[in-house]
Each structure stands twice: as structure tokens, then as C-alpha cells.
């Protein structure tokens, strides 16, 4: 597979009350995967390779991974941490991947509509060159209210199934508490906050291949438990482990 993570311009959306792990987890996965983009696929990662790449002066900030929010002023997240977005919706660079967190703030649909969050997510999610639309935990509610889950096989945080069915009836909700994610084409939705790590691994695998995904998993010691998901293939949801 000739794809690279640098093919992807990944916008991680933030808003007041967004869950910290839903942003930090995917950021870490994509950052590591992109940092080692040029490492030969067939070559194991040696200590020297790791030290050279990880300690490189230009590896801290990667231009293709960034956060975006209604404002670049401090945002208070779901568990009380304060984050600063890289960009607001007014000056954000082009993206072909959008990642949407859950958290208490994901319930504030009217606020997300008023501050432009839903419009931004809808715009990226419906663009013809968009590669992936991903949510973590109850971020699937935000995707749904942005009009991106009509007829899409998807999941959400396992204790929110009934509310999701009421609020987003046009989506095809998969009620399965044992899975981390569901992938339907470019759409990846996930269970609770830690499932964002598994869903991010799946996105990496889908874009750059299983070998590089396995090397990333090993590099980050993501060894237990096996991350489980369902992928829509030929009209059927099929088990898939990452």
C-alpha cells in the first residue's frame, strides 16, 4: 500500500464540554503514525530508528494534524481540563478527515448549531474529497445532528443507545456492547472514550495497511485487550480486530 498518513489533513473538533480522551487519544495515534510515515514498512523499528525519528527537531508539531473549535480562547473540557484549539472555523486549513468527540458538551445541540460547529462538521463530512468521518463515544450524536449518519451503520456509547435512536432515527444503530467501533465506508463511529484509540488504529490500518498498524500498536504497547469492531462489506457487517 502506497498511502501515507501525510495524505490526510486531520481536523480534531473541540467544543466546551468535549471529552478530553476523545481528542487526545486520536491525536496521539495519528501523530505517531504520521511521525513514522517514512519508516520502511518491512523493517522493524530499532532503538536507533526510534531515537532518530522521535528526537527529531521537526517532529513535535505536524501540520496535517490540528484542532479546531468555534474559538481559540481556552475551552473547558468535559472533565475540567482547559484546551486551546489551533484554529477557529474562520482560519482553519483544509481538512479531508474530521474527528468529533463526545462528552457532556456533545449534548448541547443548539449551542453547537449556533456557534458553527455543526455547519463545519457537515461541510467537511460531505466534501467530495473527504477520506474519513470519525466520532468517538457520543460524538456520533454530533455527526447525526450534522446530517452525516442518514442510512449509515454506526454505533455510540453503549449506555446511550435508546437516546441515540430517538434523536437520530435515520441512522442504522448497531447495538453491540462488545465492540469498539463500526466502520461503514468512510464513516467510523465508536463506543466509549477509550474506544477512540481502537477506532483510530482502524483508520490507520484502512489508510496505510495492516503491517503499519501492527507496528504502531506495538510501538505504543497497545497490547491488551484485542480491539474489536464491525466493518460493512458487501452489505454485511463483518467482525474485524485491530
Q: What is the pLDDT of residues 109-135, one digit of tens each?
A: 999 999 999 999 999 999 999 999 999
Q: What is the pLDDT of residue 41?
A: 82
Q: What is the pLDDT of residue 55?
A: 74
- Residue 58 pLDDT grade (very low, low, confident, very high; cuts 50, 70, 90): low
Q: What mean pLDDT value characterizes the chain? A: 94
Q: What is the pLDDT of residue 183?
A: 98
Closest residue by Cα to residue 30 from 228, 221, 231, 220? 220
Q: Using alpha carbons, list the distances in angstroms from residue 195 to 47, 180, 199.
A: 29, 5, 6
Q: What is the pLDDT of residue 173?
A: 98
What beta strand segments (E) does 147-211 contain? 153-154, 172-173, 181-184, 187-190
Region of residue 225 (left: phi > 0; alpha: psi -120 to 50; beta: else): beta
Q: Average pLDDT, stretch 221-225?
A: 78
Residue found under cell 456533545: 106
Active-site residues: which are they?
Answer: 137
Cβ atoms of 138 and 102 closer than 8 Å: yes
Q: What is the pLDDT of residue 17?
A: 98
Q: What is the pLDDT of residues 191-205, one digit of tens each?
A: 988 899 999 999 999
Cβ atoms of 121 and 139 closer than 8 Å: no
Closest residue by Cα to residue 86 from 106, 69, 105, 64? 69
At residue 190, φ and ψ (nearest 5 deg) are: -140, 170
Per cent of the chain over pLDDT 70 is 98
- Residue 213 pLDDT grade (very low, low, confident, very high; cuts 50, 70, 90): very high
Q: And the C-alpha cell for 216?
A: 504502531
* Spatial separation of the C-alpha atoms in residues 219 and 156, rounded to whole Å: 28
- Residue 222 pLDDT grade (very low, low, confident, very high; cuts 50, 70, 90): confident
Cβ atoms of 193 and 135 closer than 8 Å: no
Q: Is the pLDDT of residue 3 over 70?
A: yes
Pairing of strands 187-190, 181-184: antiparallel
Q: What is the pLDDT of residues 158-202, one digit of tens each?
A: 999 999 999 999 999 999 999 999 999 999 999 988 899 999 999
* Spatial separation of the C-alpha atoms in residues 225 and 241, rounded to whole Å: 10
Q: Is the pLDDT of residue 56 over 80?
A: no
Q: Which residues of 119-151 are buried (b: 16+ CB within 10 A; e: fewer)?
A: ebbbebbeeeebbbbbbbbbbbbbbbbbebbee
- Residue 70 pLDDT grade (very low, low, confident, very high; cuts 50, 70, 90): very high
The CATH number that domain 5-241 falls under is 3.40.50.880
Closest residue by Cα to residue 143 from 180, 168, 115, 161? 168
Q: Average pLDDT, stretch 23-34?
A: 96
At residue 217, φ and ψ (nearest 5 deg) are: -60, -45
What are the extents of the domains in the chain? Answer: 5-241
Amino acid at each position: 500500500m502506497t498511502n501515507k498518513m501525510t495524505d490526510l489533513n486531520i481536523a480534531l473538533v473541540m467544543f466546551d464540554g468535549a471529552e478530553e480522551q476523545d481528542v487526545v487519544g486520536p491525536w496521539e495515534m495519528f501523530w505517531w503514525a504520521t511521525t513514522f510515515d517514512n519508516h520502511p514498512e518491512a523493517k522493524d523499528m530499532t532503538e536507533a530508528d526510534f531515537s532518530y525519528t522521535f528526537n527529531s527537531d521537526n517532529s513535535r508539531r505536524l501540520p496535517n494534524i490540528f484542532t479546531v473549535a468555534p474559538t481559540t480562547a481556552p475551552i473547558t473540557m468535559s472533565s475540567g481540563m482547559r484546551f486551546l484549539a489551533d484554529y477557529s472555523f474562520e482560519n482553519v486549513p483544509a481538512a479531508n478527515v474530521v474527528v468529533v468527540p463526545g462528552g457532556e458538551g456533545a449534548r448541547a445541540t443548539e449551542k453547537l448549531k449556533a456557534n458553527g460547529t455543526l455547519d463545519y462538521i457537515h461541510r467537511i463530512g460531505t466534501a467530495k474529497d473527504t477520506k474519513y468521518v470519525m466520532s468517538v463515544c457520543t460524538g456520533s450524536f454530533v455527526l447525526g445532528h450534522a446530517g452525516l449518519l442518514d442510512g449509515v451503520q454506526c454505533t455510540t456509547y453503549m449506555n446511550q443507545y435508546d437516546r441515540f435512536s430517538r434523536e437520530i432515527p435515520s441512522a442504522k444503530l448497531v447495538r453491540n456492547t462488545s465492540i469498539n467501533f463500526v466502520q461503514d465506508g468512510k464513516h467510523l463511529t465508536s463506543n466509549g472514550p477509550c474506544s477512540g484509540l481502537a477506532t483510530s488504529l482502524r483508520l490507520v490500518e484502512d489508510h496505510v495497511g495492516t503491517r503499519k498498524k501492527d507496528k504502531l500498536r506495538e510501538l505504543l504497547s497497545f497490547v491488551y485487550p484485542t480491539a474489536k469492531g464491525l466493518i460493512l462489506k458487501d452489505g454485511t457487517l463483518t467482525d474485524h480486530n485491530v
